[in-house]
Every structure is written in C-alpha cells, then in structure tokens.
Amino acid sequence: MNKSNDTAVGERIQKVLANAGFGSRREIERLIEAGQIKVNGQVATLGDRILPTDKVMIGQRRVGHRRLQSGKHRIIVYNKPVGELVTRTDPQGRPVVFNQLPKLESGRWIAIGRLDINTSGLMLFTTDGELANRLMHPSGKIEREYAVRVLGEVTDEILQRLVNGVDLEDGRARFEDLVESGGEGVNRWFHVVIMEGRNREVRRLWESVGLQVNRLKRVRFGPVMLDTRLLAGKWRELHQQELEALLEMSGLKPVLKGLKLHQEAGRNSQPRAVSAKNRPGTR
C-alpha cells in the first residue's frame, strides 16, 4: 500500500475496486470507513493507493491480482436467449450467459442489470465496474424498453392503471410508456418502458392486474437498441454514438474512461438503426 501522491505508484483504492466491479466508489468508501478493507494486512484508509501486486482483502474475500490491473475497458451488447441464466456458474449445469461472451486477457465481464431465465433480449456487459454501477443505479433513471406478449383481455382501464401506477410488494411501480404493437386473439403484444429494473418488474406489473406474460424480450437499454441482425446468443461491440450516449447518461466523460471500441471477426455484427415501427420482439 502506498500513500504517495505520485500517480505512478498506483491508483486510489476506491477507484481500483470500483473499476474491478466491487461496487460504486461511494460504496467502496463506506467499506473503507467501516474498516472492512485491508491492504497487505493493514486496514485501508481513504486516499490510499494500491498496485496490482498488493494483497487486498474485502472482508474475508481476497481480491485477485488480475482484477486490480488497469487497462482499457470494454462494453458489449449481447442478445440473451430464453433458457440462459445470468450467473457465472450453475450447479444444475444449465447454460449461462458468461460462457457466450468473448474471452478477456484481464479483468472480467460485469452484467449491467439482469434478465430472468424466461426473458430474452438485450443485455449490456462491461469490464468497467464503475460504469456498471452507475448505469444500474436507480437514480440514473435510464429507460428499459421491453416487447411483451400478454395473455388475456386487456382493457383501456387496465392500461390506464398500469400507466398511473400500482402497488407491488416492494413499492409502487408503473410503466413510463405503454404502446400496443399487434397480436391476435387473446395474445396481444405491447411495448413498455420502465425506469428502475426491479426484479421481475414487468411481469409483476401485468400480474397485478390479473394478466399473464407469456413472452418477454428487452429491446432497448437507454440509447442502445437491440439490432434485428444480432442473433440470439451472439454479441457485438458498441458503436461510438452508443458509447458516448451511455457515458453521458452515467455522468462519466469519454476522454477519461478509455473504453475499448474495436471490431472482432466472427461473433459480432455491425449495428444499424431500428425504427419504432420495426422494433424487434413482436414477430
């Protein structure tokens, strides 16, 4: 541990651990103030600088040296299919999203939010823990748009209730936007927008008015749309406009982040604009 002001001898501990995905800088600072972080056997203090070779403990958990290494960060879009879990391993041997992502020389992929096993569609992954925490925090008010197929009779009164807000077990919730987008018989498609991303929020909203969701697909996260050419189980890099918009939403400046944008052959595809009339998920 080095408390020098010379940035050549290391970076501030809260920045390094936030970038490694252990929480936001503010959360790391609270852990430091509570004496929960040790460096080389000593209780860390705010302002300490660390190197990748230092031994860092968060509680009883050892932080691997590779996660302390700085470098260019990446952020990618992944089209999650139904049946995959957003977890690193599964005791039952079910498929997990992390096995489908490109291999990294250092660092690890962090999921920006989650989708349950029965929900498909757009997910963002990054190696930048600070960016991930900022984009997931409820204060960011970032729109998540879903295509949802509902079973049952949907009346104007029900739609109005869902827009006005209903009480769920974890507080009041509502759709910021709700637009019908087709369907036949008792199965109707809608596009809905939420701002928080609470656990199973879209499904629970529809269930609260007595209706069942039988298909659910996320098609947009903030400025990033699900490309109709991006097949299920495939990923692509962000393009520059998407990256800059996400960084602006997170309050981070592009010139400070060093996020890596490059093209890799084989797995990823080039993004293209998707019009509101031709959004994925309703076919």
Q: Which are the catalytic amino acids?
A: 116
The whole-angstrom separation of Cα 82 and Cα 258 is: 33
The whole-angstrom separation of Cα 283 and Cα 279 is: 9
In contact, 192 and 211? CB cutoff 8 Å = no
Between vectors from CA 241 to CA 240 and to CA 244, what angle results, nearest 5°? 85
Residue 161: C-alpha distances to residues 106, 191, 199, 203 (Å): 48, 16, 20, 15
The whole-angstrom separation of Cα 231 and Cα 215 is: 17
In contact, 245 and 168? CB cutoff 8 Å = no
> What is the DSSP code (8-state) at residue 66?
G
| Amino acid at position 203, single letter | R
> SS3 for 156?
helix
The whole-angstrom separation of Cα 245 and Cα 207 is: 33
